[in-house]
Amino acid sequence: MIERVKEFPSLIIIRHPLVQHKLTILRDQRTQTKHFKELVDEIATLMAYEATSELSIEEREVDTPLEKTRGWHISGKKLTLVPILRAGLGMVEGILRLVPSARVGHIGLYRDHGTLQPVDYYFKVPGETAERDFFILDPMLATGGSAVAAVSALKKAGAERIRFLCLVAAPEGVRRLSEAHPDVQIYAAALDRQLNSSGYILPGLGDAGDRLFGTR
Ligand code: PRP
Ligand code: URA
């Protein structure tokens, strides 16, 4: 169950009841770290089901215990997950449960609290970038600075097919990412109202990294 928003053609909102139910618990300030981590993991799995729906498949022969038949397997471009550190790490295992053969790269970025500009500190992705389908993972798309920087870094490394998966998006971030990279499909569990003056999403869920790792 998905929703499209006229203003943002690159955005797909995943309206599945389970996703929305879990997201509401995630937003609750009383939800503690252990539960928060479990929910991010579960929502990532549910979102991945939708985000993988357009991966190309090809026919292949299989021997059942009784006879040969034909089936399907995901073809060609290998799926590669790229969490943006730190908070994106919370989404990795939930997707690997569905696609255990996926490779995992990492992009290290943090948002400077004063300027809100992304500061990069790490980049490592598997080779043969042009052959892969990349899923960038980050629970929060706020100003969009981190997302734009992550996509640009992946493209610079040769990536051609990139999707961006987040839990909560702000209109400002969706606009910025889709203007900078109109080819990148964005999947979100919610499109929230706006950013506050400190660049936090309203209503949002607070600081995703801190809530995931219990650092505040
Ligand atoms: C958060 C979040 C995104 C970024 C979004 O990370 O996980 O990466 O902010 O903000 P933006 O869209 O305005 O760039 P943060 O910088 O807090 O780092 P952390 O994951 O290490 O806590
Ligand atoms: N990063 C977060 O973790 N939360 C926000 O609301 C915005 C950026």
pLDDT, one tens digit per residue, over 156-191 is 999 999 999 999 999 999 999 999 999 999 999 999
207: annotated active-site residue: yes
In this structure, is residue 203 part of a structural domain? yes
β-strand partners of 61: 70
pLDDT of 76: 55
Q: What is the CATH number of the domain that holds 191?
A: 3.40.50.2020
Domain extent, residue 98, equals: 2-55+71-213
- Tell me which of 24, 33, 115, 215 is the catalytic residue: 115
Which ligand 1 atom sits closest to the C-alpha of 145? 14
Residue 111 bears catalytic tag: yes
Whole-prediction pTM value?
A: 0.96
Structural domain includes residue 61: no
Neighbour tally for 87: CB within 10 Å? 24
Q: What percent of the chain has pLDDT over 70?
A: 99
Is the preceding omega at residue 203 within 30 degrees of 0, hence cis? yes
Q: Tell me, yes or no, whether 63 lies in a domain.
A: no
pLDDT given for residue 216 in this prediction: 76
Q: How many domains does the chain have?
A: 1
- Which ligand places an atom closest to the C-alpha of 138? 1
Nearest alpha-carbon partner for 93 in 214, 216, 215, 212: 212
Phi, psi of 87 (to 5 degrees): -60, -30
Contact 23, 43 (CB under 8 A): yes
Q: Whose CA is nearest to atom 2 of ligand 2?
A: 207
pLDDT for residue 77: 62
- Per residue in 49-82, pLDDT tens? 999 998 888 899 999 999 999 999 986 568 999 9
Residue 60, in any domain of the structure: no
